Structure 1
Amino acid sequence: MTNITPLNEPDISEAPELLAQEAEEVGAPRRSSLRPLLPTMTGWLAVGIGLVVLIIAFAVVGPWLVSDPTVIRDMGLTAPSSEHLLGTTQTGQDVLAQLAFATRGSLQIGILVGVLATALSVGFGIYGAYAGGVADEAFSLLSNVFLVIPGLLLVIVIAAFVPREARGWWTIAVVLAITSWAGSARVLRAQTLSVRGRDYVSASRVSGEPAWRVIAVEILPNLLPVIASQFVFAVIAAILSEAGLSFIGLGAANSWTLGTMLFYAQNGFALSLGAWWWFVPPGLMIALFGMGLSLINFSIDEVINPKLKNVRLHRRRARKIRRLEEAARA
């Protein structure tokens, strides 16, 4: 008896074409040279980008839409209402206004630390590994010293010696950047050592190209996914470290951050008084922003390690073939 395939139903004979299409996705050259450096759009990546964009938009636009967070009112510890969407503190200050300014302050510190720490790690890691010799040994020794010293303890000591009146958000950012670049520098040094011996890099050096051009044109583009991953990790670590410093009273003075909100909530006995609207929003904001950056970082890992991307593509291919087989049996 002849098998008749119903109209508009997929046939299992399409599987070889599907396999060829998936093989092209894995190994075929891309039209754009930047496409292999970008993570593949997935559901988790979309969620991460959405969370980060929404929080950044709230930090940028929010302070223009709320009242002054320092205004004291005669309505202490008021629960959320239509007048104050997130309630008030013990002194009647609006929690939503504090959250908007605190989110902006924490993001300023996180981004500045990410930029400074990434720049330091790129300078010490990539240039040292490319130059070799005394420069590499000196940079490696310096990074090893910073790795041996406990990071949190060093941050606490440095922040404690900075006068309180000079301890602004930018000062805290510089302190955090100085104490957080060494780990990334070691990773970039190892990656640079593996790239430095490749043929196209050797050809550029033999042809007389200056060192800065070899690094910028031949080496740096191959390390962009690693650098992006290190930047995202530095931003997350900076926001958490700043929150920890502020929670113990060593944070930025006269600046609103998510850590200072938690510090004031602790001093105001918000937990014992049941004022959840005072400490839950800043903690939740830190958690959501960290989750969004982590999801983005997981997607960047696929670019750094192609095996992760191939595993996901093979799983998707297996699901498609399974659906075709089920449709053919139906």
Structure 2
Amino acid sequence: MSAIVAGTAPAAPSVTRRPRGGIFRAILHNRKAMLGAALLLLFVLLAAVPKLFVPWLKGDPQAIGDLPLQGPSSAHWLGTTGLGQDVYAELIYSTRESLVIAVIAGLGATILSVIIGVSAAYLGGAADNVLSMMTDIFLVLPTFPLIIVLATYAGKGNLTVIIIVLILTGWSYGARQMRAQALSLRNRDFLESARVRGERRSYIIVVEVLPTMISLIVANFLGAALYAVLTAAGLQFLGLGDPNSLSWGTMLYWAQNQGALVNGLPAWALSPGLAVALLGVSFALLNYAFDEISNPALRPVRRRRAKSAANS
């Protein structure tokens, strides 16, 4: 009040702006994020340019060879299958389909989670009740048996069907998280200002709400992609995928059917399983890293102590 009487305006509160590229700086300073990103980049390179990693291969990586069930050698680094196919070449070329399943299914499940979760929280009332009830139903369903039934009767061996099934069974957990986060934002001042300005609901959700949830959306995508990788490999191992396709799950299926371990070829059985595990680890590490980046309370105690000591 005295500032007004004296004719001087009160000092405007300082606004701390987040520097551009802050999320990338946070990733560069997070060991989990860097390791996960390095692994994921390796798999992207394998999927994009597989020939770069198998330069001696001419023609089809599934071409039948003359030396079936051979152990690892200089000519065949991981041995050969029961039809004489090079296991290493199949492993490299199988990366593309496995990564495509992870990205498309993870992206589809994340989009569905965002649409249902954020809409339920923002709209409220009957819409919230209906969408929340639908989410709860999918949460309590026995997921893997349902996936097997749907994949079997909707189109066994059809990659598109498998991806759709993974999307339909992988969105509910993320939708619950999105709804909880959106509920905490629904009555914030910046949203009230948008309503007072007369903005449409769709504009408020897309322009005002979603940008504040980017870290949660990215973490949800990584979790959904991890779920898709492991589940798709399990389905293909059970024979519910296309047995003629090139994927890690299909390699596991043929290794089991043709007795890789019985014939003394552990590399044939273990290499696709290790590839699935490493891709899953890359998604999991990035997921943990984004949780730490978005929530300082989850960061390691030693890092917080070092920062406190430096500030003091």
* Alignment TM class, shorter chain as reference: 0.7 to 0.9
How many residues align? The count is 293
CA distance in 2, matches of 1:263, 1:292: 23
Q: Which runs of 5+ in 2 are unaligned?
A: 1-14
1:193-232 equivalent positions in 2, closer than 5 A: 193-232=183-222
Asked if the contact 1:37–1:225 (Cα under 8 Å) also holds between the matched residues in 2, the reply is no
Alpha-carbon offset, residue 145 of structure 1: 1.1
Asked if the contact 2:46–2:93 (Cα under 8 Å) also holds between the matched residues in 1, the reply is no
Structure 1 pair 77/306, CA: closer, same or farther in 2 (3 Å)? same
- Post-superposition Cα deviations, 1:242-283, rounded to whole Å, max 9, x if no partner, equal 111111111235322111100100001111222012112111
Letter in 2 for 1:87: G
Alpha-carbon offset, residue 168 of structure 1: 2.4
1:289 maps to which residue? 279
SS of 2:236's equivalent?
Answer: helix
1:52-63 equivalent positions in 2, closer than 5 A: 52-63=40-51
CA distance in 1, matches of 2:128, 2:234: 34
1:149 maps to which residue? 141
Q: Select the residue among 24, 30, 33 that pairs with 1:42.
A: 30
Structure 1 pair 312/135, CA: closer, same or farther in 2 (3 Å)? farther
| Larger RCO (alpha carbons 8 Å, 6+ apart) | 1
Structure 1 pair 260/321, CA: closer, same or farther in 2 (3 Å)? same
2:19 maps to which residue? 32
Alpha-carbon offset, residue 303 of structure 1: 2.8
Q: Which moved more, 1:293-302 or 1:247-256?
A: 247-256
The answer to whether the aligner puts 1:302 opposite 2:289 as a matched pair is: no
1:128 maps to which residue? 120
CA distance in 2, matches of 1:157, 1:207: 50
Asked if the contact 1:117–1:234 (Cα under 8 Å) also holds between the matched residues in 2, the reply is yes
2:177 maps to which residue? 187
Q: TM-score, normalised by structure 1?
A: 0.83
1:17-28 equivalent positions in 2, closer than 5 A: none
Alpha-carbon offset, residue 46 of structure 1: 1.5
CA distance in 1, matches of 2:24, 2:186: 19
- Post-superposition Cα deviations, 1:100-140, rounded to whole Å, max 9, x if no partner, equal 22111111111010111001001111112111122111111
CA distance in 2, matches of 1:306, 1:37: 16
- Post-superposition Cα deviations, 1:276-330, rounded to whole Å, max 9, x if no partner, equal 12112111111111112211111101233222248454233367699xxxxxxxx
Structure 1 pair 131/221, CA: closer, same or farther in 2 (3 Å)? same
Once superposed, what is the RMSD of the aligned Cα atoms? 2.2
CA distance in 1, matches of 2:135, 2:61: 41
Q: Select the residue among 110, 114, 118 that pairs with 1:118.
A: 110
Q: Which runs of 5+ in 1 are unaligned?
A: 1-27, 323-330
Q: Which moved more, 1:198-207 or 1:223-232?
A: 198-207
1:25 maps to which residue? none
CA distance in 1, matches of 2:24, 2:298: 14
1:325 maps to which residue? none
Asked if the contact 1:39–1:300 (Cα under 8 Å) also holds between the matched residues in 2, the reply is no
Letter in 1 for 2:129: E
Alpha-carbon offset, residue 79 of structure 1: 1.7
Greater helix share, 1 or 2? 1
Asked if the contact 2:33–2:290 (Cα under 8 Å) also holds between the matched residues in 1, the reply is no
Q: TM-score, normalised by structure 2?
A: 0.87
